[in-house]
Structure 1
Amino acid sequence: MVVVLADQLTKLLIRAYIDIDQAYTLWGIPLTHIENSGMAGGLFQGNARLFGVVAVLFVIGVLYFRKTGDMKGVLIDSCFGFFVGGAIGNGIDRLLYGQVTDFIIRGGGVLNIADHAIEVGVLLLIISGIVSWFKNRAQLLES
């Protein structure tokens, strides 16, 4: 919920105070207001609502997996929390506005808080996999 609130609040502020394609710097962070009707990197422009439906299906899938899956624990719960928060944040934009507001310039692309939350989720998933591998290896060595 925190991710969704932070994402939607920052997008609201960007839409209200920064014109499209206007460059701005806040606390040393370069920002620009972009509206993306596609997906990552501007691919498949004009399909935002379709990707909004995909986001809803993704969230349903994650919730189902969390209920029935074997993966448990704080790290994996946090991972899926970031995934779901990011998907909902961008899904709201896609379904309500037909486009996603991006504004944080990084690495040649323009992202938003939801995008960064999904990246954090991926990082936590990788860390969880590594921790799980080490735990399983230690159990095998003890046997």
Structure 2
Amino acid sequence: MSTSPEAQATAERQLCGLVNGVAQQIAHHVQERAATLGLTAPQATALREMSGPLTMRELADRMSCEPSNATFVVDKLEKQGLVERQAHPTDRRAKVIALTPEGAELRERLLGILSQDSPLGALSAQQQSALHDLLQQALSRP
């Protein structure tokens, strides 16, 4: 039995509201926790995503922003001595962004405080994995 267009629209509206609500809670959580370390939310997001040296494009993709926005954030982090630009190992025209020792230490502190009272913390690892798979599936639809 198929669902009526009205019922489908209502279900989609409710799901969109829930996804948006979770996204807002996560953004607020990151902003609050970042501020305790003297960082902006975009700076915290960049540090969180820097699990190793990255090109600016890779970092921008992980931050879900344009490379010019990532460059602005990296410039600020570089002025704070948290990241540095290095020569790319295989492309002499490119640069990679890497954490300095101070940046790596701050990233570890950041990861610790981001996990405290996270909006997704009430979900088990299995539930988080299931949610990830469902959202990934929804995003991969043409």
Query: What TM-score bracket applies, with the shorter chain setting the length?
Result: under 0.3
Structure 1 or 2: larger strand share?
1
Give the structure-2-normalised TM-score: 0.26
Give the structure-1-normalised TM-score: 0.26
Q: Which has the higher contact order (CA 8 A, sep 6+)?
A: 1
